[in-house]
Amino acid sequence: MPLSWNEVRVRAADLAEEWRDASYEKGETQSFYNAFFRVFGVQRRSVARYEAHVAKLDNRSGFIDLFWPGVLLVEQKSAGRDLKRAYQQAGEYFDALSERVRPRYILVSDFRTFELHDLSERRQVAFSLADLPAHVEAFGFILGRERRTFRDQDPANIEAAELVGRLHDALSEAGYRGHDLERFLVRVVFCLFADDTGVFEPRDIFLEFVETRTGEDGADLGALLMQLFQVLNTPDEERLATLDEDLARFPYVNGDLFDGPLRIPAFDSGMREKLLDVCRFDWSNISPAIFGSLFQSVMDRKQRRAQGAHYTTEKNILKVIEPLFMDDLRAEFGRLNSRRDSRRLAELRRFQGKLGRLTFFDPACGCGNFLIIAYRELRLLEIEVIREIRHATAATRQVVLDTSWQSVVDVDQFYGIEIGEFPARIAETALWMMDHIMNNRLSLEFGQSYARIPLATSPHIEHGDALETDWSELLPPRDCSFVLGNPPFVGSKYQTAGQRAQVRAIAALGKSGGTLDYVAAWFIKGGEYLKGSTARIGFVATNSITQGEQVAQL
């Protein structure tokens, strides 16, 4: 059975560590490439040979370091040698080969740096040995999974949101709107991310399903997608024995993401092509940390301004979460890690358990940026803790715990309220995306494949108006560790009548309601929510609430 990309990445990390000191071409090339092919679960001798003799066009002859006829030619050099010269030499071998066996790929390396040239697409990828795990999919041809040539390989940027925005607009113009459209797009976006990051295996099965199993006129696309969503929400043991094989390849996802029926959208050929455009985009580099901000552009701008939705940069998010909780957690870990007594291991395990019990609440979460960054930082700290626990356990000659249940931090520790249904669902999806990325990182760190599919836990994101909602019904104050976020500002002169009424009611400033910014209502309500609690609050706000006429009112 072919290896999953997650398993390949773990093997690649092991290879990079084992061969980090390799440097000598003649003495180490063959051993290295035997190990390299094993990363992909392939025996080198079954596909390629060493020292393949070739007669050059200038009547001289030479030996190709590794040759896979029709597929790959490798020119290996010792550490520090000129790779431009190596590529030139490989080109001479290529020219001397018959058309029938000329390879599509040329790989040149000095053990430290690798350059893979795709001659068909005139594309090159270069990376260090240490970065091999992040580039294994460039070698998909070894597994018979050639990377699609039309994929956009640029870093994640606004193009992803623009592509989804075009699909959104086309569906909306066709009359497919509201709740159904928003839920549909969130499900599609999860499939796009899953298709490119190893949640779905093999890669691109969602793209292939849309491309090969639906008609060009798009007439059957909506119904087939609904059938796929149903499959993604059905455990393997409950699926029909007669289920189509292409649908049966998709995993059970769970997590309520695909739960519940939606109206079936009616696609035409143009709308189908817009969906294929977003499928062909490379979603593997989309960072969930900026995911929500990208999808703000999908929402109507006038509606967005009225609701006060806005994006906080990662830099500013860290300005909140670091002094709010991360600085203290890192300091506590540092103290425990520096212990040299018999209690060190027990205290590290206790600290990891503490990380898994903390709860985080953003009562104006938007697309989830604060929660996503907080989750990432907490998981990164936990990985450091796990590393020290494993070292300490090994030192005491105890059995090292299995990685598959070592991570105790999960998305169900994160809570949010969001007035818009679409961003609320995006926040959920982005947290699952970040969870998958951090699971991959855990896999690479400890050499074991680790995943949480099907989804066993979900973040708690409530669709509603935070100023009209009883926060304690979502998360009792006694169970809350931190409240954080970036509530909408909206100065008193720019508030709607409804917003002004909300501030007046919460602040109890009489009929006039004072001149408080809208954000002040979150501070007041947050203080009431946590009265008598040891939890802490960290909000982004305008400086007008700390200076001028608002200070006395607040």
pLDDT digits (tens, 9 = 90+) for 193-230: 888 887 888 888 999 999 999 999 999 999 999 999 99
The proportion of the chain whose per-residue pLDDT surpasses 90, expressed as a percent, equals 49
Q: What number of residues does the chain have?
A: 554
The model carries a pTM of 0.68
Pairing mode, if any, of strands 105-109 and 414-418? unpaired
Residues 105 and 72: beta-carbon distance below 8 Å: yes
pLDDT level of residue 467 (50, 70, 90 thresholds): very high
Distance CA(382)–CA(349), nearest Å, equals: 10
More confident residue, 24 or 314: 314
Q: Where are the beta strands (DSSP E) in 367-475?
A: 414-418, 460-463
H helices present in 82-203, as ranges:
83-96, 158-173, 178-197
Helix axes 369-395, 314-321, angle to 10 degrees: 60
Distance CA(368)–CA(461), nearest Å, equals: 9
CA angle 308, 309, 314 (to 5 degrees): 130
Nearest to 128 by CA among 113, 106, 115: 113
> Which pair of structure tokens corresponds to residue 321?
């979460």
Distance CA(360)–CA(485), nearest Å, equals: 10
CA angle 222, 227, 228 (to 5 degrees): 95
At the second CATH level, the architecture of 5-143 is Alpha-Beta Complex (3.90)
Distance CA(523)–CA(210), nearest Å, equals: 47
Residues 488 and 519: beta-carbon distance below 8 Å: yes
Instruction: Tell the burial category of 69 from Cβ atoms under 10 Å away from its Cβ (0-12, 13-18, 19+).
Output: middle
Q: What are phi and psi of 60, to 5 degrees?
A: -95, 175
CA dihedral sign, ordered 466, 471, 473, 474: positive
pLDDT at position 154: 36
At the second CATH level, the architecture of 314-553 is 3-Layer(aba) Sandwich (3.40)
Decide if pLDDT at 24 tops 80: no
More confident residue, 56 or 231: 231
pLDDT in tens, 517-553: 888 889 999 999 999 889 999 998 888 778 877 787 7
Distance CA(280)–CA(274), nearest Å, equals: 10
Distance CA(123)–CA(195), nearest Å, equals: 22
Q: What are phi and psi of 462, to 5 degrees?
A: -100, 135
pLDDT level of residue 404 (50, 70, 90 thresholds): very low
pLDDT at position 374: 96
Cis peptide preceding 133, ω within 30 of 0: no
More confident residue, 306 or 143: 143
Distance CA(549)–CA(461), nearest Å, equals: 35
pLDDT at position 28: 84
Q: Which of 95-99, 396-400, 471-475, 529-533 has the lowest mean pLDDT?
A: 396-400
Distance CA(525)–CA(173), nearest Å, equals: 40
CA dihedral sign, ordered 502, 460, 323, 480: positive
Nearest to 234 by CA among 248, 246, 213, 244: 248
pLDDT at position 253: 87
pLDDT level of residue 148 (50, 70, 90 thresholds): very low
> Which pair of structure tokens corresponds to residue 174?
């066709």
Mean pLDDT of 284-292: 70
Neighbours of 322 (CB within 10 A): 15
Q: Which of 16-25, 51-60, 120-129, 514-523 has the lowest mean pLDDT?
A: 51-60
More confident residue, 234 or 494: 234
Nearest to 422 by CA among 186, 135, 139: 186
Distance CA(395)–CA(349), nearest Å, equals: 15
pLDDT in tens, 118-135: 988 778 899 999 999 988
Average pLDDT, the chain: 85
Neighbours of 487 (CB within 10 A): 26
pLDDT at position 493: 59
Q: Select the highest-mean-pLDDT range: 201-215, 286-300, 421-435.
A: 201-215
Cis peptide preceding 202, ω within 30 of 0: yes
Q: Which of 318-327, 404-413, 534-543 has the lowest mean pLDDT?
A: 404-413
Q: Select the highest-mean-pLDDT range: 180-194, 214-228, 255-269.
A: 214-228
Any idea where the domains of the chain sit in the sequence?
A: 5-143, 158-286, 314-553
Residues 414 and 360: beta-carbon distance below 8 Å: yes
Q: Select the highest-mean-pLDDT range: 192-201, 218-227, 250-259, 422-431.
A: 218-227
Spatial CB neighbours of 131, under 8 Å, sequence gap ≥ 6? 16
Nearest to 62 by CA among 86, 84, 93: 93
Residue with tokens 């609440």: 361
Spatial CB neighbours of 26, under 8 Å, sequence gap ≥ 6? 78
pLDDT level of residue 153 (50, 70, 90 thresholds): very low
Helix axes 269-280, 221-232, angle to 10 degrees: 40
Strand partners, 118: 105, 123
The proportion of the chain whose per-residue pLDDT surpasses 70, expressed as a percent, equals 87
HEC secondary structure over 12-56: HHHHHHHCCCCCCHHHHHHHHHHHHHHHCCCCHHHCCEEEEEEEC
Spatial CB neighbours of 353, under 8 Å, sequence gap ≥ 6? 408
Decide if pLDDT at 296 tops 50: yes
Residues 367 and 289: beta-carbon distance below 8 Å: no
Q: For residue 109, how far is the Cα from the chain centroid?
A: 30
pLDDT at position 303: 44
